[in-house]
Amino acid sequence: MLAAVYDARQAIGLHDPIAAYNDISQALDAGRQAVDQGTVEQGTQSLTALLESFPVQAKLLSAQAQLTAGKVAAADALLVGIENLIPARLMPGNLSLREAAASLELARQAASLGTPQLRTQLLCAVAALRGALRDHPGTAHVQEAMALAAALDRTLANPAQLRTLLPEQVSIWLATVTQMMGTDRWA
């Protein structure tokens, strides 16, 4: 869910309110599923419980309403408020990779549907990969992450390649990030 909030902020920065709205929807869905499954406990100090709490869900709904009303700065301020609720001790070490994975999943969906959010989500994935490299410069997968970011940059720089990007290629990139997330060095 935190990755979806990050993606929404990135989409706002890229002037793509539709992608931001969709990212917030993804965060809301994750929270609703957790509540439906009874996994949110009152008073719990876990990151999951915090993100799925009623105040966070209310901020997400408010951010969507602000985007719908064209008040992008107000929506971004609400999302910043959510990020500021998270104590540093609860932040996962591989958050940047999780953000990249979430962006690539949305990019895969956009590629399969042919929506313009593909570019935004790929840009978000590149930013998240660069964040992972900045936060963890000595990890085992540095070269792999750098190569993936470069491949995404090349795709973004070529409009014809971007238009014809297959969801299967995005799935391969997503699998690469997922594999990197599974290593202890990024945790």
131: its two tokens: 């964040």
What CA–CA distances, in Å, run from 81 to 70, 76, 164, 182?
Answer: 19, 9, 38, 29
* Beta-carbon contacts of residue 159 (< 8 Å; ≥ 6 apart): none
Q: Check: CB of residue 66 under 8 Å from CB of residue 74.
A: yes
The DSSP letter of residue 6 is H
* Residue-level pLDDT at 164: 92
Query: 3-class SS at 9?
Result: helix
pLDDT per residue rounded down to tens, the chain (187 residues) = 777 888 888 889 889 999 899 889 988 887 777 655 554 444 445 666 777 778 888 999 999 999 999 999 999 999 988 888 877 777 777 788 888 998 999 899 999 998 888 999 999 999 989 988 887 777 677 888 899 999 999 999 999 999 999 999 999 999 999 988 876 555 4
Domain ranges across the chain: 2-90, 95-186
* Side chain identity at residue 131, one-letter code: G
pTM for the whole structure: 0.69
